[in-house]
Amino acid sequence: MYEWKLNTPPARPIFSLMSDKTQEFFIQGVTLDGSTFRPSDWAERLCGVMSCFRPPNTRDAHLYYSAYVRPIMINRLKCVVVSSKLEQIEPAAYKFLMSFARDNELQVAEACVLPEPPVKK
């Protein structure tokens, strides 16, 4: 799991604020009232369920996450990055993720494209 350090204000629910241009968004591991979401491995579990949704012609791997739904750490907070491309290829999976965030009152924030972290040598 990658960890990024961002200086951003706390997220707010943006389900209705996401534009058609939104490429990715974060489902954050903190509820609207500021509580840490449990269980602690929720992001890995959610991404594991969504691992079968991936771009066509990608190599099969024994263990992998989908390119459309992946766990990430931001400022020591577990998050899941969701690509809006998922809505086009599998609307039901996208709706499931949005419902998961809404039902658990998780904060959602629009994401910007982040570069891959440098490889440690």
Confidence at residue 11, expressed as pLDDT on a 0 to 100 scale: 45
3-state DSSP of the chain = CEEECCCCCCCCCCCCCCCCCCCEEEEEEEECCCCECCCCCHHHHHHHHCCCCCCCCCCCCCCCCCCCEEEEEECCEEEEEEECHHHHHCHHHHHHHHHHHHHCCEEEEEECCCCCCCCCC
* Confidence category of residue 2, pLDDT binned at 50, 70, 90: very low
Q: Where along the chain do its domains lie?
A: 2-111
Confidence at residue 60, expressed as pLDDT on a 0 to 100 scale: 61
Task: Give the whole-angstrom CA distance, residue 6 versus residue 110.
Answer: 13
* Mean per-residue pLDDT, 89-115: 86
Confidence at residue 66, expressed as pLDDT on a 0 to 100 scale: 82
CATH number for the domain formed by residue range(s) 2-111:
3.30.70.2340
* Confidence category of residue 102, pLDDT binned at 50, 70, 90: very high
pTM: predicted TM-score of the whole model, two decimal places: 0.64
Q: What percent of the chain has pLDDT over 70?
A: 67
Greater confidence (3 vs 121) lies with 121
* Mean per-residue pLDDT, 40-67: 74
